[in-house]
Chain A
């Protein structure tokens, strides 16, 4: 087989696997669900087009020679999208290192690692590009329909951004391998992925709080910012100009992204083989993390189960980072509260629902880990404990963790407003209870290590219901802080969601004990 033939053949193999992975992910392994998936995708795309129409129609007639304010907004949107894409690309690149799957076979074959990883990096570029296209297409199409075909140039920018995102992710991951070693790279890379994904929005909000006393991202169009950004001819505006339909800017942006991609392939593809071997060495090496000798303690059965849940969570920094990461989004409203302490009551209207939503999400994650992500279900199920008691212990473990994390925040909030703190406590209690109930109704058997893909291993309905439920309870708490009777209607809506989820949940579940 010729060299180029090998490359093409490998690429074909990779893309076939990629397609099958995607189908399996979307259908959860049941190909018969393809029809349902197709309908869901059409509905989702339709919704995205409506959303796009409502958001971008007023920009459709923006000129090809935009002013600074337009360029700033376009650049902001690009940076926001890029941070999300880099975050996703880091996840994908890390997965290449650590998931063994077929690497043992391919790396023991005569195919060179450079070729293999060139193809794999390209596959990540394609995946990230498709993801970006899925989200960007409705917006670009709406702009093109309303404002002319020049907007179609934005597709090129999306592809260039995806390429840059993957190149940055490869460089970042390689640097982590070189500096902190294979043992810690996975954890740090995944934490960085989450932080990068959130950093731009959070950073922007914090700047807005201090500059304008507001959380609104519309402060991007402030006079101060417009006065201090580079001149219109600066290369910094090339991506924004390309998005707005400038073909020359698109060529410039594409050339830079392509050059970056080729450089990354040339520099790093050959080294990936070494990184993979290093990562495999970590997983196969004897991990000798020793614990101190402690005497066996007398605990109730509930205490034994709770202690186990907390110890497993505390000892898994990756899981901890994944479950607690959404608390990052509480930083801007918390700063907002601190900044406007005692001066503005609208800070509570913002902070309380965000706390409730974060608690709901955290409660859902913890409930999944505790209820579905039980690593030794047979041991628990064959222990002389009733299933009700097992479940109750796990609920206590989840509630205890949420209380531990949110108690300091509630205490701080109570200093500013007792009413807001009480509403937050009520909201958190209800949203976490809802999340636990949803996880109980849809519980399944999984490993804790599958947490990142819990939406795939468990029910998508459960994931969706959990999100809707936490948003609804957040809305209820926001209205309760304001003190309107409308709160009751939204609360009824939230309860009806739970009722609906209960009605469609699997009736017979043997995830724990059966008798």
Chain B
């Protein structure tokens, strides 16, 4: 299936957000269903701001956002129903257990308790949290909290999962587990959008990579397409990234 035939999971047009300076500048972004999309860029490029606007945590100054054909700005509740957000800092309720947290999330998304209970059970097992499933989260390590938060993002079976630096601070085992879970979601038809500073992860996991700098999408495509843009087919994503990012900085 060519890209033009695929359904669009997320479409942003002219997305703009100014703080003291333009954080996101008339950004156009199209992400297809069943795609693993990595958004990379230097610090302050506007990656997190972009995603926070998409999930409804920031109001754009201008532009449109469509999620699975739903206008996310005029019908946010419907758009949120099929979207999950996982921030880089897993913030849970310390006094709830992972199971209670998942029950709470399922309740917020109005999912049938019988379905979510079974799903929660599977997710807890999958993420290796069985031993701690009924302990309060207050003593959990960062990795464990990140896993619980990921389970919360998946328990309502979203079509679109948006993750901001989901692997930061995780040990190798936990990072592998999270990557496996995300890959499985994509294989089963879900769409994953992820920001990362670790270019190797984008290189290995993403179907397409978008490079954001100064609030603009300066390059986008598969790894090969990005290499071709720089004319260095054998270079790493890191080299390609640095060359592409250097261009707008030089012209700025």
Report whether over half of chain A's contact residues are helix, strand or loop; otherwise say mixed.
loop
Interface locus among A331-339, A374-382, A406-414? A374-382
From B95, B103, B110, A316 is in contact (CB under 8 Å) with B95
B99/A293 in contact, CB under 8 A: yes
What residue in chain A is nearest B140 (Cβ atoms)?
A286
Rounded to whole angstroms, the CA-CA distance of A287 and B103 in the bound complex is: 21
B59/A510 in contact, CB under 8 A: yes
Judge if B226 is at the interface, Cβ distance under 8 Å. Answer: no
A513/B56 in contact, CB under 8 A: yes
Rounded to whole angstroms, the CA-CA distance of A298 and B56 in the bound complex is: 26
B95/A315 in contact, CB under 8 A: yes
What residue in chain B is nearest A375 (Cβ atoms)?
B93
B56/A381 in contact, CB under 8 A: yes
B139/A285 in contact, CB under 8 A: yes
Chain B residues, Cβ within 8 Å of A3: none
B100/A291 in contact, CB under 8 A: yes
Rounded to whole angstroms, the CA-CA distance of A384 and B92 in the bound complex is: 18
Give a binary string over A277-316; 1 marks a CB under 8 Å from any B CB, 0 the rest.
0000000011111111101111101011100100110011
Knowing A291-B136, A380-B108, say if A296 contacts B120 (CB, 8 Å). Answer: yes
Chain B residues, Cβ within 8 Å of A229: none
Least CB distance, B164 to chain A, in whole angstroms: 10
Judge if B91 is at the interface, Cβ distance under 8 Å. Answer: yes
Least CB distance, A378 to chain B, in whole angstroms: 6
B92/A378 in contact, CB under 8 A: no
From A293, A304, A376, A513, B107 is in contact (CB under 8 Å) with A304
Interface residues of B in 38-53 (CB under 8 A from A): none
A376/B91 in contact, CB under 8 A: yes
Chain B residues, Cβ within 8 Å of A285: 139
A510/B117 in contact, CB under 8 A: no
Chain A residues, Cβ within 8 Å of B112: 298
Judge if A514 is at the interface, Cβ distance under 8 Å. Answer: yes
B136/A308 in contact, CB under 8 A: no
Judge if B81 is at the interface, Cβ distance under 8 Å. Answer: yes
A514/B59 in contact, CB under 8 A: yes
Judge if A385 is at the interface, Cβ distance under 8 Å. Answer: yes
Interface residues of B in 52-86 (CB under 8 A from A): 55-59, 72-73, 76-81, 83-85
A382/B97 in contact, CB under 8 A: no
Least CB distance, A448 to chain B, in whole angstroms: 8
Least CB distance, B249 to chain A, in whole angstroms: 31
Least CB distance, A439 to chain B, in whole angstroms: 20
Rounded to whole angstroms, the CA-CA distance of A316 and B94 in the bound complex is: 10
Chain B residues, Cβ within 8 Å of A292: 134
A311/B139 in contact, CB under 8 A: no
Least CB distance, B38 to chain A, in whole angstroms: 21
Rounded to whole angstroms, the CA-CA distance of A189 and B135 in the bound complex is: 26
Judge if B152 is at the interface, Cβ distance under 8 Å. Answer: yes
Total contacts A-B at CB 8 Å: 116
Task: Identify which of A285, A379, A382 gathers the most chain B CB atoms within 10 Å of its CB.
Answer: A382
Rounded to whole angstroms, the CA-CA distance of A305 and B80 in the bound complex is: 17
Judge if A482 is at the interface, Cβ distance under 8 Å. Answer: no
Least CB distance, B65 to chain A, in whole angstroms: 10
From A312, A378, A379, A386, B95 is in contact (CB under 8 Å) with A312
B117/A295 in contact, CB under 8 A: yes
Judge if A492 is at the interface, Cβ distance under 8 Å. Answer: no
Knowing A296-B103, A301-B110, A384-B77, say if A378 contacts B139 (CB, 8 Å). Answer: no
Interface size on A, residues (CB 8 A): 38
Least CB distance, A354 to chain B, in whole angstroms: 31
A382/B55 in contact, CB under 8 A: yes
What residue in chain A is nearest B81 (Cβ atoms)?
A384
Least CB distance, B97 to chain A, in whole angstroms: 5
A384/B139 in contact, CB under 8 A: no
Chain B residues, Cβ within 8 Å of A378: 57, 85, 87, 91
Judge if A515 is at the interface, Cβ distance under 8 Å. Answer: yes
Chain B residues, Cβ within 8 Å of A380: 108
Rounded to whole angstroms, the CA-CA distance of A144 and B110 in the bound complex is: 69
B116/A515 in contact, CB under 8 A: no
B103/A382 in contact, CB under 8 A: no
Rounded to whole angstroms, the CA-CA distance of A286 and B138 in the bound complex is: 8
Least CB distance, A2 to chain B, in whole angstroms: 43
B109/A383 in contact, CB under 8 A: yes
Chain B residues, Cβ within 8 Å of A289: 135-136, 138
Interface residues of A in 213-255 (CB under 8 A from B): none
Rounded to whole angstroms, the CA-CA distance of A308 and B114 in the bound complex is: 19
Rounded to whole angstroms, the CA-CA distance of A19 and B152 in the bound complex is: 43
Chain B residues, Cβ within 8 Å of A375: 91-94
Least CB distance, A210 to chain B, in whole angstroms: 41
Chain B residues, Cβ within 8 Å of A291: 97, 99-100, 134-136
A287/B59 in contact, CB under 8 A: no
Knowing A381-B57, A382-B85, say if A293 contacts B134 (CB, 8 Å). Answer: yes
Chain B residues, Cβ within 8 Å of A298: 112-113
Chain B residues, Cβ within 8 Å of A296: 103, 106, 113-114, 116-117, 120
Give a binary string over A152-192; 1 marks a CB under 8 Å from any B CB, 0 the rest.
00000000000000000000000000000000000000000
B136/A384 in contact, CB under 8 A: no
What residue in chain A is nearest B73 (Cβ atoms)?
A515
B92/A376 in contact, CB under 8 A: yes
Chain A residues, Cβ within 8 Å of B175: none
Rounded to whole angstroms, the CA-CA distance of A311 and B97 in the bound complex is: 11
Rounded to whole angstroms, the CA-CA distance of A305 and B107 in the bound complex is: 9
Least CB distance, A282 to chain B, in whole angstroms: 10
Rounded to whole angstroms, the CA-CA distance of A312 and B137 in the bound complex is: 12
Rounded to whole angstroms, the CA-CA distance of A380 and B113 in the bound complex is: 19
A304/B56 in contact, CB under 8 A: no
Chain A residues, Cβ within 8 Å of B114: 296
Give a binary string over B98-128; 1 marks a CB under 8 Å from any A CB, 0 the rest.
0110011111111011101100100000000
Rounded to whole angstroms, the CA-CA distance of A506 and B173 in the bound complex is: 46
From A385, A386, A515, B59 is in contact (CB under 8 Å) with A515
Chain B residues, Cβ within 8 Å of A295: 113, 117
Query: Would you list 23 pairs from A and B whose C-beta atoms are within 8 A, ordered by A residue?
Result: A286-B140, A290-B135, A291-B100, A291-B136, A292-B134, A295-B117, A296-B103, A296-B106, A297-B103, A301-B108, A312-B95, A312-B96, A315-B136, A375-B92, A375-B93, A381-B57, A383-B80, A384-B79, A510-B59, A513-B57, A514-B56, A514-B57, A515-B76
Besides the contacts A379-B85, A514-B59, A515-B73, what 8 more A-B pairs have beta carbons closer than 8 Å? A291-B97, A296-B103, A298-B113, A382-B55, A384-B81, A385-B108, A513-B56, A515-B72
B interface residues, Cβ below 8 angstroms from A:
55-59, 72-73, 76-81, 83-85, 87, 91-97, 99-100, 103-110, 112-114, 116-117, 120, 134-136, 138-140, 152
Which 5 pairs, one residue from A and one from B, show the smallest C-beta to C-beta distance?
A304-B107, A287-B139, A296-B113, A383-B108, A384-B80
